């Protein structure tokens, strides 16, 4: 276990926000995590100090210094735990980089996660956030999630249904679910190709029977052409969720805007509208506050060009929410989590 006090959060978040956290505790096993949670008074001088589990900080905006304990797992193993004629079940530790796992799986010709290639972040957060891209969400492949309850310190296993996954949502973001720290996720991978190539320009870039690795490489190429490189430009990916509206709202909008893109969701009674289109159409692409700007190739992403303050990002996001709401009557919801 490694505990540091008064540390800079700069290396802990992809938005490249400067600031300070009171403590950072890195644990190497679930027993160490239990020990940290059990001994907060001795370790941190306050048994009620708040704790926050983080992964790579790629979906967070630290709006101020964090006066608590950031918990981070350094457990990064993955192992096959079960196999059938058609599937392999892989259990991965929460601290493992999701993209490193996907690289291994595609090399093994296991299908299911390849569309999620190159999304920053950890295995643990993939379940919390139900990450998604190119028509696939983590929930489609998650079999079960092992969690530690920070109140009674028991470790339990939740089924896929227990996790109540939704669009960038899960039980871990609400009520009692917030008391869980994810320690491992088991994914159900297929030995045979299961293709989801209808989104974006994926199919145009691929042969008719692509391998998992060819899909992964195509996803990486497309993402690199549209999204900021986390090593060069500060961001947390899509800042807003794509709004889901009723058929009536959609019909009204499509009378005024005949080019409005949409995807029918669920039983067809609702429509998902790309937030990027709403942002661009309402003229927000040129908005900026200090060094906080809209990423031109993908306006759903807000970026810290150099030295943006958290409040610059907050203000820019609010300006966009207000403008989109005024023009379309739709209130954009944040995907990025404010700390």
Ligand X SMILES: Cc1cc2nc3c(=O)[nH]c(=O)nc-3n(C[C@H](O)[C@H](O)[C@H](O)COP(=O)(O)OP(=O)(O)OC[C@H]3O[C@@H](n4cnc5c(N)ncnc54)[C@H](O)[C@@H]3O)c2cc1C
Q: Does 136 contact ligand X by CB under 6 A?
A: no
Q: Does 120 contact ligand X by CB under 6 A?
A: yes
Interaction with ligand X in 36-55: which residues (CB under 6 A)? Answer: 52-55
Q: Does 57 contact ligand X by CB under 6 A?
A: yes
- Which residues does the annotation mark as catalytic? 168, 238, 335
Candidate residues 19, 68, 112, 124; the one interacting with ligand X per rule CB under 6 A: 124
Q: Does 284 contact ligand X by CB under 6 A?
A: no
Q: Does 172 contact ligand X by CB under 6 A?
A: yes
Q: Does 234 contact ligand X by CB under 6 A?
A: no
Q: Does 206 contact ligand X by CB under 6 A?
A: no
Q: Does 182 contact ligand X by CB under 6 A?
A: yes
In Å, how far from its chain's centre is CA 261?
24
**Separation of alpha carbons 214 and 191, rounded Å:** 16
Among residues 182 and 253, whose Cβ is nearest to ligand X?
182
Q: What are phi and psi of 81, to 5 degrees?
A: -110, -15
**Separation of alpha carbons 72 and 95, rounded Å:** 7
Candidate residues 106, 122, 170, 298; the one interacting with ligand X per rule CB under 6 A: 122
Beta strands 270-272; 263-265: pairing state: antiparallel
Kindly state the smallest distance separating residue 31's Cβ from ligand X, in Å.
16
Interaction with ligand X in 69-88: which residues (CB under 6 A)? Answer: 73
**Separation of alpha carbons 86 and 311, rounded Å:** 50
Among residues 54 and 218, whose Cβ is nearest to ligand X?
54
Please give the structure tokens belonging to residue 177.
Answer: 């679910």
Using Cβ positions, the residue closest to ligand X within the complex turns out to be 55
Q: Does 292 contact ligand X by CB under 6 A?
A: no
Kindly state the smallest distance separating residue 178's Cβ from ligand X, in Å.
9
**Separation of alpha carbons 192 and 190, rounded Å:** 5
Among residues 17 and 182, whose Cβ is nearest to ligand X?
182
**Is the separation of the CB atoms in 136 and 119 below 8 Å?**
no
**Separation of alpha carbons 244 and 250, rounded Å:** 9
Among residues 289 and 303, whose Cβ is nearest to ligand X?
303
**Is the separation of the CB atoms in 113 and 91 below 8 Å?**
no
Candidate residues 92, 105, 110, 119; the one interacting with ligand X per rule CB under 6 A: 119
In Å, how far from its chain's centre is CA 237?
8
Helix (H, G, I), strand (E, B) or coil at 25: strand
How many CB atoms sit inside 10 A of residue 280's CB? 16
Among residues 237 and 299, whose Cβ is nearest to ligand X?
237
Beta strands 292-294; 270-272: pairing state: unpaired
Among residues 261 and 283, whose Cβ is nearest to ligand X?
261
Interaction with ligand X in 86-115: which residues (CB under 6 A)? Answer: 94
Candidate residues 69, 105, 133, 294; the one interacting with ligand X per rule CB under 6 A: 133
Stretch that binds ligand X, among 3-11, 157-165, 223-231, 251-259 (CB under 6 A): 223-231
**Separation of alpha carbons 236 and 337, rounded Å:** 9
**Separation of alpha carbons 172 and 290, rounded Å:** 34
Q: Does 19 contact ligand X by CB under 6 A?
A: no
Kindly state the smallest distance separating residue 41's Cβ from ligand X, in Å.
23
Q: Return the C-alpha torsion angle 20, 64, 231, 228, nearest 10.
A: 180
Q: What are phi and psi of 12, to 5 degrees?
A: -105, 5
Q: Does 68 contact ligand X by CB under 6 A?
A: no
**Separation of alpha carbons 284 and 276, rounded Å:** 10
For ligand X, the binding residues (CB under 6 A) are 14, 52-60, 73, 94, 119-122, 124-126, 128-129, 131-133, 172, 181-182, 227-228, 230, 235-237, 337
């Amino acid at each position: 276990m490694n505990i540091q006090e008064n540390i800079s959060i700069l290396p802990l978040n992809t938005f490249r926000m400067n600031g300070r956290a009171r403590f950072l505790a890195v644990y190497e096993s679930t027993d160490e995590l239990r020990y940290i949670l059990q001994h907060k008074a001795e370790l941190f001088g306050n048994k009620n100090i708040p704790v926050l589990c983080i992964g790579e900080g790629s979906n967070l905006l630290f709006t101020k210094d964090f006066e608590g304990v950031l918990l981070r797992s350094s457990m990064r193993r993955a192992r096959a735990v079960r196999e059938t004629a058609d599937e392999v079940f892989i259990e991965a530790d929460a601290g493992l980089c999701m993209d490193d796992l996907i690289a291994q799986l595609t090399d093994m010709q296991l299908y299911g996660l390849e569309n999620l290639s190159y999304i920053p972040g950890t295995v643990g957060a993939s379940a919390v956030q139900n990450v998604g891209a190119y028509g696939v969400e983590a929930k489609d492949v998650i079999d079960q999630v092992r969690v530690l309850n920070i109140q009674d310190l028991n470790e339990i296993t939740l089924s896929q249904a227990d996790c109540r996954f939704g669009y960038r949502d899960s039980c871990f973001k609400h009520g009692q679910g917030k008391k869980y720290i994810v320690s491992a996720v088991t994914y159900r991978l297929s030995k045979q190709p299961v293709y989801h190539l209808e989104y974006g320009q994926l199919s145009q870039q691929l042969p008719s029977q692509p391998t998992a690795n060819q899909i992964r490489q195509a996803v990486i190429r497309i993402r690199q052409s549209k999204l900021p490189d986390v090593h060069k430009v500060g961001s947390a990916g899509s800042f807003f969720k794509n709004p889901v509206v009723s058929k009536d709202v959609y019909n009204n909008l499509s009378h005024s805007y005949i080019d409005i893109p949409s995807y029918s969701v669920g039983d067809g009674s609702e429509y998902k509208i790309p937030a990027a289109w709403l942002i661009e159409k309402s003229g927000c692409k040129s908005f900026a506050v200090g060094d906080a700007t809209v990423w031109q190739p993908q306006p759903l992403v807000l970026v810290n060009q150099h030295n943006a303050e958290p409040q610059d990002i907050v203000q820019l996001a609010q300006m966009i929410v207000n403008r989109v709401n005024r023009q379309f009557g739709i209130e954009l919801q944040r995907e990025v989590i404010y700390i």
